[in-house]
Amino acid sequence: MSISPKVTPIYQTSVFTFEDLNALEAYFQEPGQHYMYTRYGNPNSEELAQEINKLERGAGAVVTSSGMSAILTAVLVYAQAGDHVLCAEEIYGGSSSLLSNELTRLGIEVTYVPTADIFSLEGHVRENTKLLLAETISNPMMTVMDLAQLAQVCQRKGLKLVVDNTFASPILTRPLELGADLVIHSVTKYLSGHSDVTAGVVISKAEADSTRAAQIMRTWGLNLSPFESWLGARGLKTLKLRMREHSSNAQAVAEFLEQHPKVQAVFYPGLFNHPQHAMAKQQGNGLCGGMLSFRIADDAEAVNRFMHALTHIPFAPSLAGVTTSLSYPLGTSHRGLTKEQQEKMGITVGLIRLSVGIEEAEELIADLGKALEAI
């Protein structure tokens, strides 16, 4: 009796066996046809990579141990000691820490580009500049990048464009189709979607770049475990449904917060007053995602009272799970920035980031309303 499982089994093994020397030679001569060691490749990690690659419509993808290792891999595909990289000023704090505190120690220079200069790059590009790193939707201020325009300026300047597409997901936006060279995700977030996986992925427009990313992953030991690969692939199956619900709920919550007297500002691309509203709707296929930020009084005690008054929404410094959670950028993701950098980005004491889940929107609004009244 032949066995044909509908779901790929978990290949929870660190090593694979060979029949003889001929089988070993076949492994090296026919890449992708055999497995030897899970750091080099595993059926579960390859399944996850291939499924994400289809969604992003790339030439190849490599999964990694976390979103941070995906960023590291992407930068190292194009840059080495003596090179210079550009990074959008509005970026995840972990990304800026990796660039400024670690990659500079390897001899890679880093310059942060203000949002006002991002579509010209005038005065920022050097002879040794290799790439620009940016986010489709910035963390935490929800600035939406016009990726087609950004790709054009990078092409004119001879730079590679690396886009962190975590906040959008390929359901909203596919950066490779808009001109990006590499796309990265924290699979931990929307792609997996259930707050039970730590993983990353790098998707390439060019097959040679994917080959290089795989080499970096193997050599640096950035591989993803079989079990987490299996969990990621399972979560991916509901991504389209989840993103629609995330977006619908976030729109309703943003509209509620926008009219509340104790909320000073709301940052969500789905609101008409968002600076990139029209472009965001077009680039996002009519959806704006499940992430938003809002500002209450710049008073730590007011923030604490708000958090304590919530019944169903926990304070959890991550995002994109099926259940709603809030985060505090000043004290978590962006605490490593200088006070001047925080203020310039608008990250103040009263700024709260909300990851809107797929619960009933009415329940979320009622919980948020009750907490706002407690301020």
Active site members:
39, 92, 164, 189
Is residue 319 within 8 A of residue 353, CB to CB? The reply is: yes
Cα distance between residue 45 and residue 70, in whole Å: 14
Task: Give me the half-sphere count of Cα atoms (radius 13 Å) on the Cβ side of residue 11.
Answer: 20
Is residue 41 within 8 A of residue 15, CB to CB? The reply is: no
Q: Measure CA 80 to chain center.
A: 23
CB atoms within 10 A of CB 241: 12
Cβ-proximal residues to 30 (8 Å cutoff; 6+ apart), any chain: none
Cα distance between residue 226 and residue 313, in whole Å: 31
Give the three-class secondary structure for 355. strand
Is residue 221 within 8 A of residue 64, CB to CB? The reply is: no
**First-to-final CA distance of the chain:** 66
Q: Return the structure tokens found at 139.
A: 């963390």
Cα distance between residue 35 and residue 32, in whole Å: 7
- 26 vs 31, 170, 194, CA distance in Å? 8, 36, 39
Cα distance between residue 354 and residue 373, in whole Å: 18
CB atoms within 10 A of CB 19: 8
Q: What are phi and psi of 118, to 5 degrees?
A: -65, -30
